[in-house]
Structure 1
Amino acid sequence: MKRYEVYKNIRKRAMIMGLPISLFALQMTSVIGSLLFIIFSFSFTVIISVFLFNATLFVGLTQFARNPGLLNFKKVFPKTVSIKKDSLFFYED
């Protein structure tokens, strides 16, 4: 009788080729666009430049996936929204 292990890492993100699903979709969109670009303007320099572009995009996306703090922006919106007026009077005292 076969034994199956329980999959305990259900909360981890799904990865394809070391990229999360959204970044992998961006990479594949770039690859398909590059193939269309190669088909309609066929030359050796275009092939090399498209290959280098896709390679640098893949390296950049994998670095971004490993360290998402590279594009850390400040939060624009406050944590809470209130219509209470700010005043210097303390009514609890």
Structure 2
Amino acid sequence: MSNIDIRHAHSLPPKQAHQAVQEVAEKLAERFGVAYSWDGEDTLHFNRSGVDGHIALDPQQLRVTAHLGFLLGALKGPIEAEIRRVLDERFT
């Protein structure tokens, strides 16, 4: 099993950061069939077959962690690159 662990600094106010994570989750659900749910105001859990993870919001950074199953583990590099691209786009 492969793991992704990304920390990304941001300067958004809490409500804007929450909304940006929500928009990312909606895109993941639409494009890849990922199910997601919020645990409180600052942790979003997501999963689907082959991936389980969460996005934790802190005041000045967010952290994306994901556990990839065998098949998706082979695509860890491209998946991680796409996550970083989206984070740069939404949290700059």
Would you say same fold, with TM above 0.5?
Answer: no
Higher relative contact order (CA 8 A, sep 6+): 2
Q: TM-score, normalised by structure 1?
A: 0.29
More helix by share: 1
Structure richer in strand, relative to its length: 2
